[in-house]
Amino acid sequence: MNNKYIFKSQRLGFRNWKDCDTENLFALNSDKDIMEFFPYLPSLEQTKDFIERMTTQFENNGFCYFAVDELETEEFIGFIGITEQTFEADFTPCVDIGWRLDKKYWNKGYASEGAKRSLEFAFNDIKLESIKAVAPKINLKSRKVMEKIGMKYVKDFKHPALKDDKRLENCVLYEINKEDF
């Protein structure tokens, strides 16, 4: 149990991905409510690719969107963490913070708690200077979490990966710097 988690918050354990997470993440990725602000529901193959990318990124950089368990039950609840973003924009490449949680864990403060702890990890352990966050402008839930954890709105932009989706292409960029955390 000691080495199971890379770090913890009050109620959450952050860890690298395991093969057994694939089915659980695929279930989250298949839920239309959870994926409301994404252009499509990822396939099982895309879910496996995501987990492989996160595992590789953790091995190479010491961070990723971590698999997250609720400590009390040790149940997988989704992911929270930081990852490299390289899509074409005037602020990339950058490291951004993100989360995706099973909806039975929504509205309990887990996203904010986990995101704050991920920022601590990013600034204190990884020694990053700045973290960004991106979301479709209409995703008010994620924007609320970004503001709750101290991130500041920077600007609106059109996300190049969403250019064919009129509902989602207008996005917002938020940022927090180490000295402001």
**By residue range, what is the domain housing residue 63?**
7-180
Q: Could you give the number of structural domains in the chain?
A: 1
Residue 149 lies in a domain: yes
Residue 1 lies in a domain: no
Q: How far apart are CA 78 and CA 47, in angstroms?
A: 12
What's the pTM value of the predicted model, to 2 decimals? 0.96
Answer for the pair 8, 14: CB distance below 8 angstroms, yes or no: yes
Q: What is the pLDDT along the chain (181 residues), one digit of tens a residue?
A: 446 999 999 999 999 999 999 999 999 999 999 999 999 999 999 999 999 999 999 999 999 999 999 999 999 999 999 999 999 999 999 999 999 999 999 999 999 999 999 999 999 999 999 999 999 999 999 999 999 999 999 999 999 999 999 999 999 999 999 999 9
Query: Looking at the domain assignment, is residue 31 inside a domain?
Result: yes
Return the DSSP state at 43. P
Q: Are residues 121 and 133 in contact, defined by beta-carbon separation less than 8 angstroms? A: no
Tell me whether the omega of the peptide bond preceding residue 136 falls within 30 degrees of 0, making it cis.
Answer: no
Asked whether residue 2 is domain-assigned, the answer is no
Euclidean distance between CA atoms 28 and 30, whole angstroms: 5
The label of the residue with tokens 């180490």 reads: 178
Judge whether 100 lies within some domain: yes
What CATH number is associated with residue 166? Answer: 3.40.630.30
Query: What residues are paired with 111 via a beta bridge?
Result: none
Tokens 């709105």 belong to 153
